[in-house]
Amino acid sequence: MEVAQLKDLEEDFGLAKRRYAELRRQKRIFNARNRIIGGDTEAWDVQVCDQKIKEATEKAGQETFAAEMRQNDKIACISEDRERRDRKNLCKAINNFQQSFQKPETRREFDLSDPLALKKDLPARQSDNDARNTVSGMQKFMGEDLNFYQRKKFQEEQNRDWSLQQQREWKMARANQKCAEDLYLKTRLQFDETAKHLQNLESTTRKAVCTAVKEFNKNQALESAEKKIQEKKQDQEDNLAEISNLLCGDLLSENPQQAASSFGPHRVVPDRWKGMSREQLEHIRLVQKQQVQERLRLQEEERQRDMDWDRQRVQRARAALLLERQQQCQQHDLRRALDCNNLSLAKEQLSQKKYMKEICTNHLTEDYFAQFNTRSR
């Protein structure tokens, strides 16, 4: 019973909801102002009100934020003034404390910066065997003993000996370098001679190969022409023999009337027909002669064309040989020019080296030995 009541209530609620929606729709449709303007004025009014509330809220927030910023600026200025005043007081107190309790005379390191330290201190050393001249004290160094002048003279003699030895070594090195350069130049000339000899051998071999190829092509052309002549002669003999056999044969010499048929002049008896008439034979011979002449003409044209091809091939081979010779001459000239250029460059390099040796060689003088041991340190 309760389930049925709930269902009825739901149906009543849905029906009431639909009725209310229908009434609102009728109100919107039957309102002439809204229908003509085409907009929802109530919604517009609500939107305008919301926009005003939003602008007022934003304005109040901006004013609050500006007031907070002004307050923060005042606090920052006060804090900065206080910090500057405190720093100034602290610096003043530190200066007073240093002047009162941290005088330079009371410092432990005052002896390092004392302006009267040199007057108060003892001499660095009184003799070479002074007990204060320890290694860690660094008061006596190499070359600061009493035997300074004797040691200086010995060092000068030793430096002179070293200089003379360096000169001897330098002269020996220059001699070795010169020998090496002469050996390199000699080896380079030998290599050039070997390359030139190999190039000449290659040129001779290439010429021999070209001559052999030319002779072979010439022999082939002669054999081909001879073969064509023999074939032409054999064809002519065969044609003459065939013509003679046809003229002297039994088929052409017998009477053609015996093969005449009783059914008409245009018909013959097959088993007795021996050949055609004289006019037909003359016509056939004429056609055969024309064919022979045409064949001879074609053979002559073919022979002439082959001769033209052979002549063109020989001309091309000759032009290729001339071009190859010209290229070899150009390569020989280029090689000769390159060798001349290399020789001139070698001479210039040798002269430049001699000049640099003369210019850049330093001769030792008395001033060179006098510049050593001129100071105490």
In this prediction, residue 2 carries a pLDDT of 45
CA distance 128 to 262: 171
Three-state DSSP at 266 gives strand
Q: Are 41 and 34 in contact (CB under 8 A)?
A: yes
CA–CA distance, 263 with 258 (Å, rounded to integer):
14
Q: Where is average pLDDT lowest: 185-199, 224-238, 284-298, 346-360? A: 346-360
What is the domain partition of the chain in residue ranges? 1-34, 50-82, 200-247+280-361
Q: What gap in Å lies between CA 120 and CA 114, rounded to an integer?
A: 10
pLDDT digits (tens, 9 = 90+) for 105-115: 777 778 777 78
Q: What is the pLDDT of residues 221-264, one digit of tens each?
A: 888 888 889 988 888 888 888 888 767 654 555 666 666 667 76
- pLDDT tens per residue, range 79-108: 999 999 999 999 999 998 888 887 877 777
CA distance 349 to 181: 11
pLDDT in tens, 278-322: 787 888 889 999 999 999 999 999 999 999 999 998 999 899 999
**Residue recorded with tokens 């003892």:** 122
Predicted pLDDT at 256: 62
Q: What percent of the chain has pLDDT over 70?
A: 80
